[in-house]
Structure 1
Amino acid sequence: MKRYLYFTMVLAFVTQGAFAQKSYIQAGRLVDVNTNKMLLEKTIIVEDNLIVDIKDGFVTGGAEDVLIDLRGRTVMPGLMDMHVHLENETGPRRYLDRFVENEADIAFNSSIFAKTTLMAGFTTVRDLGGSGVNISLRNAINAGKVDGPRVITSGKSIAPTGGHADPTNGMKRDLMGDPGPEVGVINGVADARKAVRQQVKNGSDVIKITATGGVLSVARDGNAPQFQQDEINAVIETATDFGIHVAAHAHGDEGMKRAITGGIHSIEHGTYMSEETMEMMIRSGTWYVPTITAGLSVAEYAKIPGYYPAPVKAKAETIGPLIQETFGRAYKKGVKIAFGTDAGVFPHGENYREFIYMTEMGMSNLEAIQTATLRAAELLGMEDKIGTIEKGKFADIVAVDGDPEKDINAMKDVVFVMKEGKVYKMD
């Protein structure tokens, strides 16, 4: 009887976590994104999916614990990209693919793009527009069926008839039909409210509108406003009732002003953003997600004969090269900036390029990293869970070779990826 009680007590002790395995991550350099300083010789202790402590020096645990030696590397919080499209990737067949690919094809492709993104060090992304497969992808990742980043998704973007996210743009007339709010195409306030509610019903975490024309849609205009003010207001009011944010794709200035007036949470791209609009954003606390990499990429692809249809080629050549300069002005003005690339417009996994383009315009290397960690978490309203390496937060931790404070190109060489305490990459 005594022996039975002894083993019962031991079993209970173990079950309660007294002997739970921990991971000890020894970091030669640690980026403190709260202060934008590089700390030396720290040990991060992880248990289950959380950071439970951070110690000075190189500390080891017990024989049952895991030691991860990153003493020669630079460690930082998991990176975050606030504008990706995980369902697809650029290519000269892109405009044909929508006629030949099934949802299953898109799903299989998206699982590859998701893993590529995670292996590049991005443990959280905001997917801003697809067919709705992105919602299923998020669910599959959350269930552990697919390796990928934490996905905050908008499902299908919302646009007016003929707008940037009207899925029938460029089709022959008998294929165009008259898509409505059930697929994110609206005309008027009632449609706007219905479209938001439909996306929430489908499982979207955030709403995206195309406040102006865009570059890659087969439509003539790339920057004119696409919604009346009452339509924008209706979208944002309805989303706010559900407690979710609205992001606005916007190249033209008037469309940005209407979105900001309506209470938009973030402006994506912002190509023709004026000083007046920047001041509006500062007063309203509106976030700016630049996507410089997308702009420079489409300008380069436009030089390849046949890569884009003629209307797209013209817009890519005109609009694409301008975003980096706009970013530079917005940064110097003091607009709130979160990291975002529009990955999918260029190959997934090359998200690091945004760091280089941001620093070329005067942002410090560590501040650029901060936009992809702390600032991105703030945009998401998740700063209590992710974005920094602190006790009690999710163990989203990555490491690179080299010292990115001295050379931002080091962000290309991600050698370690942990998401919620699970190691996905360790070179």
Structure 2
Amino acid sequence: MCVDPTPPPAASLTRRGVLAGAAALAGTTTALLATTATPAAAAAPRRLGTPLTGDLVIEGGTLLDPGTGDVTPDAVVVIRDGLVRAAGPRSRIGVPQDAPRLDAHGRWVLPGLVDAHIHLNTAAEARDAVRKGATSARSGSTNFYQDIAVRELARQAPVLAPRLKAAGVFVTPDLGDTVLADPDLTELARLKDGVRSAEALRRVVEVNLARGADWVKTRVNERAGLPEQDPLAQVYSHEQLSEVVAAARRGGRGVLCHSYSEKGCHDAVTAGIRSLEHGVYVGERTLHEMRRRNTYFTPTLAAIAGLAESSNPVLAERGRTYLPLLKRAVLAAHERGVPLAAGTDSSGGTVKPIGREVELMHAAGLPALDAIRTATTGAARLLGLTTVGRLARGYAGDVLVVAGDPLADLTVLSKPVSVVRSGLPV
């Protein structure tokens, strides 16, 4: 996690072990979940490795479309093979008679949410994220490429993990035991000053890309969740960040950057990062650059709010100081047209509901619909997920069913009544 200290991974969490475990778990889940498919699909033999998807009709709820803001009472959503085939008022939708039903009468129905900054190190964390409403996500890095395995697990057994964009290992000055994540990283352990030279920075990016990372994660400041560190201290210069961005772009990848200080934020944005993470002290000139460059802001409000509740007095004071500053930065970004994405920065075995981040976006001053968009259409655009964030024909069959009107009470998002992933009830 970027804010809270991350415990060292268990000895069993090697890259090979995670991949093997994911494969075994996916195979087990395919068998266990066969009963959720249609009778015909359940009877047909499944080829090993074929991703599991489902058919489902969700009927009777009030449908919210974050893309348009439209609200449709007594709606029907028809999902076939994990994709939405139709969504709208019952009077206009032909309801297939052979599909399983989910009764949503008295409930609200909206697309599954997107957590644009989360650290998923275990299968248990991945499943917990889905259960709490994050049906899609972007990794904020892992210690040993666990997120690469989670991404594949999500493809094989969707109910066990969010649709994931992986970031591999952190591009940071001190890799620590992460040099053991891949044999091609071990040579960096002999560097006296750590990962700082242009050659070393490029090396970590290139290894990440070779291992299949979708994004590159780096930092410009130290961490807020470690009391001995100063989050305003800068660890990489504009030139070093530019090296990371250039190496990522050569591989067709964007960069997300852990940032706190105004100078750090400005250096990161002008170096060409794709999204700014945390950004407590982001200033007017940097917001202007972000709007001009279409750089996203992922403030991770829930993580900063968590610091304020820490038993450590240094972290608690830090959280109390940072949270109001960050809320003002979020509102300023929104007012200036900077795109926002919701992310919880969950890690360390505790997965925060992405709905809580949406609540805090609203508390910062965003209208309820705009707050919801930070975890649906907005975050989906950042991640390049063109079929996520709405429930319309051709979109993913990822659904959240909640107890009340989220436009009136956003707390319902943190306690979903039902979650559907690729047409399969979780």
How far residue 126 of structure 1 moved from its aligned partner, in angstroms, is 0.9
Task: Work out which of the residue numbers 337, 340, 362 in structure 2 matches 1:337.
Answer: 340
Q: More displaced, 349-358 or 248-257?
A: 349-358
Task: Work out which of the residue numbers 377, 382, 397 in structure 1 matches 2:380.
Answer: 377
Contact 2:153 2:161 in 1 (8 A): no
Where 2:354 maps in the other structure, the secondary structure is: coil
Match of 1:114 in 2: 126
1:199-243 residue CA offsets vs partner (Å, 9 max, x unmatched)? 112232110111112212465321232212222112111111111
How far residue 316 of structure 1 moved from its aligned partner, in angstroms, is 4.7
Aligned length: 367
The one-letter code sitting in structure 1 at the alignment partner of 2:61 is: G
Unaligned runs of 5+ in 2: 1-39, 45-52, 179-185
Contact 1:294 1:346 in 2 (8 A): no
> What is the distance in 2 between the residues matched to 1:346 and 1:315?
22
Match of 1:173 in 2: none
> What is the distance in 1 between the residues matched to 2:371 and 2:318?
28
Where 1:136 maps in the other structure, the secondary structure is: helix
Match of 2:403 in 1: 401
The one-letter code sitting in structure 1 at the alignment partner of 2:365 is: G
| 2:284 is the counterpart of 1:275 | yes
Where 2:417 maps in the other structure, the secondary structure is: strand
> What is the distance in 1 between the residues matched to 2:74 and 2:108?
10
Match of 2:103 in 1: 69
Q: 1:277 to 1:189 in 2, by over 3 A?
A: same
How far residue 325 of structure 1 moved from its aligned partner, in angstroms, is 2.6
The one-letter code sitting in structure 1 at the alignment partner of 2:325 is: L
Task: Work out which of the residue numbers 105, 116, 121 in structure 2 matches 1:82.
Answer: 116
The one-letter code sitting in structure 2 at the alignment partner of 1:406 is: A
> What is the distance in 1 between the residues matched to 2:172 and 2:281?
20
How far residue 320 of structure 1 moved from its aligned partner, in angstroms, is 5.1
The one-letter code sitting in structure 2 at the alignment partner of 1:80 is: V
1:129-164 residue CA offsets vs partner (Å, 9 max, x unmatched)? 220222223223323297121121212111124xxx
Where 2:85 maps in the other structure, the secondary structure is: strand
Q: More displaced, 395-404 or 338-347?
A: 338-347
Contact 1:46 1:52 in 2 (8 A): yes
> What is the distance in 2 between the residues matched to 1:181 and 1:138?
31
Q: 1:121 to 1:66 in 2, by over 3 A?
A: same
User: More relative contact order in 1 or in 2 (CA 8 Å, sep 6+)?
Assistant: 2
How far residue 345 of structure 1 moved from its aligned partner, in angstroms, is 6.8
| 2:154 is the counterpart of 1:141 | yes
What is the aligned-residue identity percentage? Answer: 26
1:99-139 residue CA offsets vs partner (Å, 9 max, x unmatched)? xxxxxxxxxxx211111110111101111022022222322
Task: Work out which of the residue numbers 69, 76, 81 in structure 2 matches 1:43.
Answer: 76
For 1:1-400, what aligned pairs fall within 5 Å after superposition? 22-57=55-90, 61-87=95-121, 110-131=122-143, 132-144=145-157, 147-161=160-174, 166-167=175-176, 180=189, 186-217=195-226, 219-301=228-310, 304=311, 307=312, 315-316=318-319, 318-319=321-322, 322-344=325-347, 347-383=350-386, 385-400=387-402
Q: 1:276 to 1:180 in 2, by over 3 A?
A: farther
Q: More displaced, 36-45 or 189-198?
A: 36-45
The one-letter code sitting in structure 1 at the alignment partner of 2:341 is: A
> What is the distance in 1 between the residues matched to 2:405 and 2:204?
46
Contact 2:342 2:354 in 1 (8 A): no
The one-letter code sitting in structure 1 at the alignment partner of 2:68 is: T
How far residue 348 of structure 1 moved from its aligned partner, in angstroms, is 0.9
Bigger proportion of residues as strand: 1
Q: 1:186 to 1:218 in 2, by over 3 A?
A: farther
**Two-structure CA RMSD over aligned residues (Å):** 2.9
How far residue 274 of structure 1 moved from its aligned partner, in angstroms, is 0.6
Match of 2:24 in 1: none
Where 1:280 maps in the other structure, the secondary structure is: helix
> What is the distance in 2 between the residues matched to 1:52 and 1:145?
19
Q: 1:254 to 1:46 in 2, by over 3 A?
A: same
